Structure 1
Amino acid sequence: MIFSVILPQYLNLGTVMSYTIRQQSAQFKMGISDIAQFEEWLADHKDIIGVSFVGRSNVGKSSMINALFGSKTARVSKTPGRTREINIFEFELNLNGKKSDLPPFYLIDLPGYGFAEVSKEMSKNWNELMGAFFAEASESMLLLNLQDARHPDQDVDRQFYDFIKGFARKTVLVFNKIDKLKTQKERAALEKLKPALSKDYKWIRQMYFASAESKKGVPQVEEAIVTHILEELELRKTHEDSDI
């Protein structure tokens, strides 16, 4: 899906630009599981712009990343909860169907939460890595939280939001596997949940229903990511101009 965004100051004053995520452009840079190494990486990348994915284990996070950025970007694990690394990628945007002149942006795949069959050591490492990320990562990184549309707002999801509420990250909530809801009653119940979530978690900017498998709703999620990136670029440009 191609969509247009008007940027009044950034990239050719007043023109309409059509940006999309450049498929298959995401390049894996590194996987980090060591807290000291991750804190060093964050210190060296204070101003990065991009999107971070997080969700309950087995929610389809890797499949959604592949749907948005191109097949085989993220490895789909056969053992949910096993991956404890933070995986870092760089990706590009297209402009009007061709590679844009913008620099690469960052895609960060955060390890899943709420998987019971992990050791205490792995759980402790998760807490340290995620604590460092939310405390120190660039404020220009959008957080995209995935939940299962069939089982939304689980205890582990609420525990995760309690974990991050002090950081007030710009967050998009995506209910994945919407194609698995077979009845209108199920869909209506999910729709009714949205106002309560908006009230409880005020840092959530938008909510979307999507399916990585059928691709339903994926273009809207892509639009949210790209719009965030362009807004951050515009804010950065405005700040630079004000400092002159």
Structure 2
Amino acid sequence: MRLSPVFLLSATDVSHFPTKAKTFDVPEIAFLGRSNVGKSSLINSLIGSKEAHVSSTPGRTRAINFFALHEGAGEKKKIRPTLIFADLPGYGYAKISRSISSEWPTFIEPYLANRETLALCICLVDTNIPPQPNDTQLITYLKQSQRPYLVVGTKSDRISGNVLSKSIAALKREHEVDEILPISAKTDAGIKTLWSRLMAVAED
């Protein structure tokens, strides 16, 4: 199914979050991960658009950017969205990690803790580097808060075969998860599988 994206808004405060009247109370998918892990590139690959801005400077996304995904296009586009994507600010980039950390409690944690329409968190981890403690912290937080999540391994096109398998195994072990879906926004590897998981959420 092809979905047409519409940018809704950028939220830097809880009061900015889209209301049920605007989103028709449809499921939201949140994309979370370290700065420069490839969140915006993945979103653009999923929706076949450049709606999510990809910055050359890691950590530039300082708001939650919401996108509504509609069935159809143009005049045939359905008014009620099928899904809402939420692109969250990255974390862990040395030059701005302190300022990002200071912003997380003000509107990110309330979003993750209290957002009723949040149906699934996509946690992005980089398959090209060793497991990162702040990724583990995020995944642990989602487990403790009983938020549904899926761990996705980005940039899988840069390594292959046995090296990729070892990387995925290390990430599973360190983050204590049973599944990590390797994907590549560059080659679209794993994108179809990820889409099927997202559409299952929409259908629920």
| TM-score bucket of the superposed structures, by smaller chain | 0.7 to 0.9
> What secondary structure does 1:126 align onto?
helix
The aligned residue for residue 56 of structure 2 is 78
Contact kept, 8 Å, 2:168 with 2:180, in 1: the verdict is no
Q: Deviation at 1:54?
A: 0.9
Distance 1:42 1:191, change over 3 A: same
Query: What do the CA deviations read for 1:136-166 (whole angstroms, capped 9, x no partner)?
Result: 1125521111111112531121122233332
Q: Size of the alignment, in residue pairs? A: 199
Tell me the distance in 1 between the aligned counterparts of 2:58 and 2:138. Answer: 17
2:186 is aligned with what amino acid?
A: E
Distance 1:21 1:140, change over 3 A: farther
Instruction: State whether structure 2 residue 115 is matched by structure 1 residue 142.
Output: no
2:63 is aligned with what amino acid?
A: E
Tell me the distance in 1 between the aligned counterparts of 2:116 and 2:2. Answer: 20
2:197 aligns with one of 204, 208, 224: 224
The aligned residue for residue 29 of structure 1 is 8
The aligned residue for residue 54 of structure 1 is 32
Unaligned runs of 5+ in 2: none
Contact kept, 8 Å, 2:112 with 2:118, in 1: the verdict is no
The aligned residue for residue 196 of structure 1 is 173
Tell me the distance in 2 between the aligned counterparts of 1:57 and 1:180. Answer: 18
> What secondary structure does 2:180 align onto?
strand
> What secondary structure does 1:92 align onto?
strand
Contact kept, 8 Å, 1:144 with 1:172, in 2: the verdict is yes
1:118 is aligned with what amino acid?
A: I
Q: Deviation at 1:50?
A: 2.9
Tell me the distance in 2 between the aligned counterparts of 1:160 and 1:70. Answer: 28
Distance 1:163 1:170, change over 3 A: closer
Unaligned runs of 5+ in 1: 1-19, 233-244
Distance 1:136 1:21, change over 3 A: farther
Equivalent runs, 1:91-130 vs 2, <5 Å: 91-93=69-71, 103-104=80-81, 105-118=83-96, 120-130=98-108
Contact kept, 8 Å, 2:142 with 2:149, in 1: the verdict is no
Distance 1:216 1:119, change over 3 A: closer
2:66 aligns with one of 88, 100, 103: 88
Tell me the distance in 1 between the aligned counterparts of 2:118 and 2:11. Answer: 20
Instruction: Name the Cα RMSD after superposition.
Output: 2.7
1:156 aligns with one of 118, 121, 134: 134
Tell me the distance in 2 between the aligned counterparts of 1:30 and 1:122. Answer: 20
> What secondary structure does 2:60 align onto?
coil
Distance 1:210 1:154, change over 3 A: same
Contact kept, 8 Å, 2:91 with 2:97, in 1: the verdict is no
Distance 1:109 1:91, change over 3 A: same
Q: TM-score with structure 2 length normalisation?
A: 0.84
Contact kept, 8 Å, 2:61 with 2:88, in 1: the verdict is no
The aligned residue for residue 11 of structure 1 is none
Distance 1:226 1:197, change over 3 A: farther
- Aligned-residue sequence identity (percent) comes to 31
Query: What do the CA deviations read for 1:198-230 (whole angstroms, capped 9, x no partner)?
Result: 8x34xx7x5311100011111111111111111
